[in-house]
Amino acid sequence: MLKSAIRNSKFAILLAALLFASCSTAEGQQLSRKIPAIGVLLPDSQAAYASYVAAFHEGLRELGYIPGKNILVEYRYADGKSDQQPKLATELVALNVEVIVVAGGTLGAAARATTAIPIVAGTAGDLVGGGYVRSLARPGGNVTGSTNVDSDLSAKRLEILKETLPKVSRIAFFSVEGNRGDQNELKETLAAAPLLGVRIQSFEVKEPGQFQSAFASMTSESAEALIITNNAFNFAHRKQLLKLAAMNRLPTMCGRAAFVEDGGLMSYAASRGDSFRRAAVYVDKILKGAKPAELPVEQPTKFELVINLKTAKQLGLTIPPNVLARADKVIK
């Protein structure tokens, strides 16, 4: 009788413990579900996007979010390998994140992976021209965020380059064959060229194996400076392109500050850090119930001129004081 009572007592204690553990697990799962989870899909390495991620975190903090405490952020980096982007996008979709933040080339991978999860473009090309949104005012789908139309800045880039190098008359334009954004940028650059007294020489490539021949052609055609367009392909191969430019002693105007940080001479572009900080505002609105289809796409309002004086010195160039004075960032 006593043994039976003891056995029953042990069974009751074990059952209670199991029930408590079950309830605790369920409660933990509910708590984890109460913390929003978002995904961030980036085309290059963690190091390459460190400043943009920092800007995004700053934007989140300004809105009261602390990653790891009241919001979960799942990062995926493609490390410059475009063929990895679809796999990484699928991973984030499988995690059932509430929003996916993208940059540049990863937008396409995310958009193909889901039409249900909201996608916020931290930085991207022409969202309307690319077919990702119906209009800037009313996107109409699951994509919204910031759009950077580089062709709008083409004339200004050429103007700054000519002001920096007043004696140049032949400028090479390096772009990716079939890239719509590059084609628009070339069109605007060609239109501005006569007013500045320069001739534009266009060089298009499809793969890295064509880089050497493109630069050889620039030399044979006596190019005196080089404009490198900003796109996912050129960004992924920027170090190789900048090395070739340095070997051929070609001063470069680039469409992104990261090119200058890696050895380019100068860049004039929208502040991608500012755009990433603004991405946090979109995330906040979506988490609070807003629909991406109804959140207007923003165009950049902050632009940056970045100059690398170390590169200028290596090329034997002196940056005019009036240009240097306008620089938002100078690398020495």
Each residue's pLDDT, cut to its tens digit, for the chain (332 residues) gives: 444 444 444 444 444 444 444 433 333 333 345 799 999 999 999 998 999 999 999 999 999 999 999 999 999 999 989 899 999 999 999 999 999 999 988 999 999 999 999 999 999 888 998 899 999 999 999 999 998 877 789 999 999 999 999 999 999 999 999 988 899 999 999 999 999 999 999 999 999 999 999 999 999 999 999 999 998 889 889 999 999 999 999 999 999 999 999 999 999 999 999 999 999 999 999 999 999 999 999 999 899 999 999 999 999 999 999 999 999 999 99
pLDDT of amino acid 228: 98
pLDDT of amino acid 232: 83
- Tokens 């160039």: give the residue: 317
Gap between the Cα atoms of 207 and 79, Å rounded: 18
Can you name the residues that pair with 41 across neighbouring β-strands? 76, 102
Q: Could you tell me the two tokens for 240?
A: 């190789």
Q: What DSSP letter does each residue of 70-121 carry, written as one string?
A: TBEEEEEE-TT-GGGHHHHHHHHHHTT-SEEEEETTHHHHHHHH-SSS-EEE
Strands 72-77 and 99-103: unpaired
**Within 13 Å of residue 220, how many CA atoms lie on the same side as its CB?**
7
List Cβ<8 Å contacts ≥24 apart for 207-215. 208/237, 208/240, 211/237, 211/240, 211/241, 211/244, 212/244, 214/174, 215/244, 215/245, 215/247, 215/248, 215/250
Q: What DSSP letter does each residue of 195-206 carry, written as one string?
A: HHT-EEEEEEES
Q: Which CATH superfamily is domain 33-148+272-301 in?
A: Response regulator (3.40.50.2300)
Q: Which helix (H) or strand (E) holds 65?
A: none
User: Taking the model in full, what pTM does it have?
Assistant: 0.82
- Tokens 């916020």: give the residue: 120
Q: What DSSP letter does each residue of 169-188 carry, written as one string?
A: -EEEEEEETT-HHHHHHHHH
CB proximity list for 174: less than 8 A, separation 6 or greater: 203, 205, 214, 226, 227, 228, 229, 234, 241
Residue ranges of the chain assigned to CATH 3.40.50.2300: 33-148+272-301, 150-270+304-331
Identify residue 98 by its one-letter amino acid code: E
pLDDT of amino acid 130: 86
Question: Which among 302, 300, 305, 225 has a CA at the least distance from the CA of 257?
Answer: 305
Neighbours of 199 (CB within 10 A): 13
Class of domain 150-270+304-331: alpha beta
pLDDT of amino acid 276: 96
